[in-house]
Amino acid sequence: MLEQDQNPFKKMQGDLKDVPPELRQKVMNDVALAKLIMEMATLFTSNYGSLIEGLLKTNKTK
């Protein structure tokens, strides 16, 4: 019963330690690469709907 009364978030309030610069740089590079991949995917897939609509649309010009 005593364990349930303790707040686990109070244990997390300890001193935060700095991350080594190499690890920080690796994480930042990974995040940048993930962002680039997401932007490239959006670039190549965002207009499929309008492309298909344009191909199937018939022009009724006289």
Residue-wise pLDDT tens digits, 5-32? 788 777 777 777 788 999 999 999 999 9
Cβ count within 10 A of residue 28: 10
Q: What is the pLDDT of residue 62?
A: 58
Q: What is the pLDDT of residue 35?
A: 96
pTM over 0.75: no
Q: What is the pLDDT of residue 26?
A: 96
62/54 Cα distance (integer angstroms): 19
Token pair belonging to 45: 């897939």
39/45 Cα distance (integer angstroms): 10
Cβ count within 10 A of residue 55: 7
Spatial neighbors of 4 by CB under 8 A, at least 6 apart, are none
